[in-house]
């Protein structure tokens, strides 16, 4: 499988707003939902989809963010947003992979792009939905571990995962 990676404006132009929204809908349906979600939690997931295109397009033009998108042939397969909140706060902020590409090298290519831009020798962090065990296992392959101390205030329970500077993957 040949994966092509595009960044920032080139990624945004190639993907387009409608495709970003559609991919985010498919990705969240596959990974963010489970049967016991409340109405408020479902609304929170829908909000993620609703703001995804605007968030990606804004990141593509922001000096403190990197928007990277992968394509397999002509198919938009996934994206990541890496964000520098402050010199000591570097986040893999959004990571969405279309379920058709789960278990392929698409997510790994996106992780490499985000980590590479933020700096492999820097401490990094990300948010993950606590019930998304597949994502947690995947992030651990890149050196991230759940921070047992930090608490988030998301409607759907999240965990913060941190990666030490220079962690191997």
What span, in angstroms and rounded, lies between the C-alpha atoms of 4 and 23?
17
Which tokens is 17 given? 């707003």
Indicate if the pLDDT at residue 91 is higher than 80: yes
* Average pLDDT for the chain: 93
Tally of CB atoms within 10 A around 131: 18
What span, in angstroms and rounded, lies between the C-alpha atoms of 127 and 95?
10
Which pLDDT score is estimated for 94?
A: 94
- Provide the 3-class DSSP secondary structure of residue 76: strand
Q: What is the pTM of this model?
A: 0.93
Indicate if the pLDDT at residue 34 is higher than 80: no
HSE, side-chain direction, 13 A CA sphere, residue 3? 18
Indicate if the pLDDT at residue 32 is higher than 80: no
What span, in angstroms and rounded, lies between the C-alpha atoms of 125 and 130?
15
If one compares 155 and 120, the residue with the highest pLDDT of the two is 120
Which pLDDT score is estimated for 44?
A: 84
The one-character DSSP state at 6 is E
Which pLDDT score is estimated for 13?
A: 96
């Amino acid at each position: 499988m040949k994966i092509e990676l595009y960044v920032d404006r080139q990624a945004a132009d190639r993907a387009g707003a409608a495709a970003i929204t559609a991919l985010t809908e498919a990705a969240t349906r596959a990974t963010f939902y489970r049967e016991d979600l409340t109405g408020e939690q479902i609304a929170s997931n829908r909000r993620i989809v609703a703001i995804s295109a605007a968030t990606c397009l804004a990141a593509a033009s922001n000096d403190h963010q990197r928007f990277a998108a992968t394509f397999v042939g002509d198919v938009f397969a996934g994206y990541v947003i890496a964000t520098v909140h402050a010199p000591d706060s570097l986040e893999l902020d959004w990571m969405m992979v279309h379920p058709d590409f789960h278990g392929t090298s698409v997510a790994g290519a996106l992780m490499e792009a985000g980590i590479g831009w933020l700096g492999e020798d820097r401490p990094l962090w990300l948010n993950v939905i606590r019930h998304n065990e597949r994502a947690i296992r995947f992030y651990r392959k890149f050196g991230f571990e759940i921070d047992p101390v930090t608490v988030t205030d998301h409607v759907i329970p999240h965990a913060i995962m941190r990666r030490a500077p220079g962690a191997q993957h």
